[in-house]
Structure 1
Amino acid sequence: MAQSKKKAANFEIIIKNLLAGGVAGICSKTVVAPLDRVKILLQAQHTHYKHLGVFSGLREVVRRENFLALYKGNFVQMIRTIPYAATQFTAFEQYKKHLGGLFGQGSHLDGFLAGAAGGVTAAGITYPLDTIRARLAFQVTSNTLYSGIRHAAVTMFKEEGGLRALYRGFWSNMLGMIPYAGFSFYTFDKLKYLCMKSAPHYFCSEHKTNTGGLILNVPAKLLCGGAAGAVAHTFSYPLDVTKRRMQLAMMNPTTHKYALGMWYTIKMIYIEDGIVKGLYRGMSVNFLRAVPFVAVGFATYEVMKQMLDLDTGIRL
């Protein structure tokens, strides 16, 4: 009887984490959707946009297409984001729970590995939708290859080698996800603890969890999340650029070479454009989107956990 109650309680916690993560993903992706589209256009050096910067790119998308074009591909992004974010946050909580103390009490490695494993789990499940979303976001109104999600998926499957086409750039994404997700969750957790320990009167709300733990206020959650995003993206960005080049390789005959493999693509990007204008191309827009994206994501997730009576506090 006690065992069945424990299983039911664990199942309820997982469902609540999934819900909190899904809502967090929707909010964070919607906030940065216009910057996401410009980032993709800059990363893959679209003919009409490769000479532009962040703000001029945003203006040019509106001028060349329309305001709603800033959200092109966002519908499929929402379809992907709900299971992705829900799985990532929930998997992180489960991995952290099972890894707790494995490398010694208070080990930094536990948090990093739990975050990395959560990101890899979520990315592996939803990767085809990420590829389709990138294709839809990359095309412009005057030169449309795909009419929608289903048409893009079917066309790629039929004309580009089946399921392999939907997973092109997968290993680059997986390798990039380890430092990205690992440093995101690790940095957020450490900054959260530091804020609570060093200045709880500034960073913590007056309310406490049902176990007596302190709770960060919303500005502190946004601050910790933004810092976590900046750190994580700095380490993982070149692999994100590589992934995008591979995902979009077959859309133009001149870029087919990027479909030949991850290491070949990295080498070609470096040879042709170098580090700053190649492997870190679009990094400025990425920082502009990464900080609010991760900040809103973590802040919403923490707020949702409080609303669902999941203990997010720390007892010092």
Structure 2
Amino acid sequence: MALKMEQKNDLDFILKSLLAGGVAGMCAKTTVAPLDRIKILLQAQSSHYKHHGVFGGLTAIVKQESLLALYKGNGAQMVRIFPYAATQFTSFEIYKKYLSGLHIPLVQHGDKFVAGAGAGVTAVTLTYPLDTIRARLAFQITGEHRYTGIVHAALTMFRNEGGMRALYRGFVPTMVGMVPYAGFSFYCFESLKYVCMKYLPTQLCRKCDRNTGGLVLTVPGKLVCGGLAGAVAQSVSYPLDVTRRRMQLACMTPATEKFGYYGHVPNFEPHIP
């Protein structure tokens, strides 16, 4: 009976973690979608926007395309981000739980880093094709569309660029970068949370009776810890993020198109809706 109750609690925890992680990821990515798109355009040196900075690029997108163009590719991002964030959040908690039971000094001291890295690798592996498709859609300029949507992009890449390998282009640098990114992200968040609870318990924390009277971070506390942790992790792994984007988008520019195919190079005609 006790075993069944424990299994039920574990299942409830996993489902709640999946829902919480997925919704949180969708909200966060939609909020920063315009910045995400200009980042992709600048990383891959779009001929239309490479001479702009961040704010100049955002203004140029609105003037040359439209306000909604700031969110180009966000549909694919939403399809991707729910399973990505849910898988990452849940697998982190699961890995952390099991790693804490291992009596290995190195693992015990770095369990949050190892759990975070493992969670990131798990989530990226499962959702990487959608990330490639999202980057392709976001890189398109209005009037020069090659892909009409998520399904069309996936089928076109699969048929003309070498099957599944095309959808996983840039996967190796992503994996290399994901270990420090996810590891530092979760490790820094947990470390900053500990600092807040120890030194700023009244400013950024509150008591929670459901947690046996312990402290939990307030919303501003979570924003501070999450923002700083994300900034540190992104800074460490950013060069590999640029490498990944260049590989994913090689077929989208004439100068690098010949490097983007596995096998023959088809003759594409831009699709203008």
Secondary structure of residue in 2 paired with 1:205? strand
Number of the residue aligned with 1:9: 9
Number of the residue aligned with 2:268: none
Number of the residue aligned with 1:89: 89
* Deviation (angstroms), 1:212: 2.2
In the superposition, relative to structure 1, how do residues 259 and 108 fare at CA in structure 2: closer, same or farther (>3 Å)?
farther
Number of the residue aligned with 2:44: 44
Number of the residue aligned with 2:58: 58
Deviations 1:114-149 (A, max 9, x none): 000001000000000000000000000021100111
In the superposition, relative to structure 1, how do residues 257 and 107 fare at CA in structure 2: closer, same or farther (>3 Å)?
farther
Q: Supply the distance in 2 between the matched residues of 1:178 and 1:106 (Cα, whole angstroms).
A: 15
* Deviation (angstroms), 1:201: 1.3
In the superposition, relative to structure 1, how do residues 258 and 240 fare at CA in structure 2: closer, same or farther (>3 Å)?
farther
Q: Supply the distance in 2 between the matched residues of 1:185 and 1:204 (Cα, whole angstroms).
A: 19
How do 1:213-232 and structure 2 match up within 5 A? 213-232=214-233
* Equivalences, count: 261
Q: Supply the distance in 2 between the matched residues of 1:219 and 1:106 (Cα, whole angstroms).
A: 31
* Deviation (angstroms), 1:258: 5.1
Deviations 1:203-249 (A, max 9, x none): 11244433222011111111111110110011100110000000011
Q: Give the share of equivalent positions with the same residue, in percent.
A: 63
Any conservation in 1 of the 2:205–2:217 contact (CA below 8 Å)? yes
- Opposite residue 228 of structure 1, the aligned amino acid is A
* Deviation (angstroms), 1:260: 8.4
- Opposite residue 173 of structure 2, the aligned amino acid is S
Larger RCO of the pair (alpha carbons < 8 Å, separation 6+): 1
- Opposite residue 154 of structure 1, the aligned amino acid is L
2:171 corresponds to 1:151 = no
Any conservation in 1 of the 2:44–2:249 contact (CA below 8 Å)? yes
- State TM-score, norm by structure 1: 0.80
Number of the residue aligned with 1:180: 181
Number of the residue aligned with 1:137: 138
How do 1:65-214 and structure 2 match up within 5 A? 65-100=65-100, 102=102, 103-104=104-105, 107-214=108-215
Q: Supply the distance in 1 between the matched residues of 2:82 and 2:22 (Cα, whole angstroms).
A: 4
Q: Supply the distance in 2 between the matched residues of 1:209 and 1:230 (Cα, whole angstroms).
A: 31
Q: Supply the distance in 2 between the matched residues of 1:160 and 1:135 (Cα, whole angstroms).
A: 13
Any conservation in 2 of the 1:168–1:247 contact (CA below 8 Å)? yes
Secondary structure of residue in 2 paired with 1:152? helix
Secondary structure of residue in 2 paired with 1:46? coil
Deviations 1:170-204 (A, max 9, x none): 11111111111110100000000111011211111
Q: Supply the distance in 1 between the matched residues of 2:139 and 2:238 (Cα, whole angstroms).
A: 18
- Opposite residue 167 of structure 1, the aligned amino acid is Y
Number of the residue aligned with 1:18: 18
Gaps of 5+ in 1: 262-316
In the superposition, relative to structure 1, how do residues 204 and 17 fare at CA in structure 2: closer, same or farther (>3 Å)?
same
Deviations 1:6-43 (A, max 9, x none): 11111111101101101110111011000000000000
- Opposite residue 160 of structure 1, the aligned amino acid is E
- State TM-score, norm by structure 2: 0.92
Secondary structure of residue in 2 paired with 1:254? coil
Q: Supply the distance in 2 between the matched residues of 1:208 and 1:244 (Cα, whole angstroms).
A: 46
Any conservation in 1 of the 2:208–2:215 contact (CA below 8 Å)? yes
**Which region of structure 1 is more displaced relative to structure 2, 252-261 or 32-41?**
252-261
Gaps of 5+ in 2: 263-273
- Opposite residue 86 of structure 1, the aligned amino acid is A
Q: Supply the distance in 1 between the matched residues of 2:27 and 2:209 (Cα, whole angstroms).
A: 25
Any conservation in 1 of the 2:207–2:214 contact (CA below 8 Å)? no
Secondary structure of residue in 1 paired with 2:206? strand
- Opposite residue 233 of structure 2, the aligned amino acid is A
Number of the residue aligned with 1:233: 234
Secondary structure of residue in 2 paired with 1:209? helix
Secondary structure of residue in 2 paired with 1:120? helix
- Opposite residue 109 of structure 1, the aligned amino acid is G
What is the alpha-carbon root mean square deviation over aligned residues?
A: 1.7
Secondary structure of residue in 1 paired with 2:154? helix
Q: Supply the distance in 1 between the matched residues of 2:146 and 2:140 (Cα, whole angstroms).
A: 7
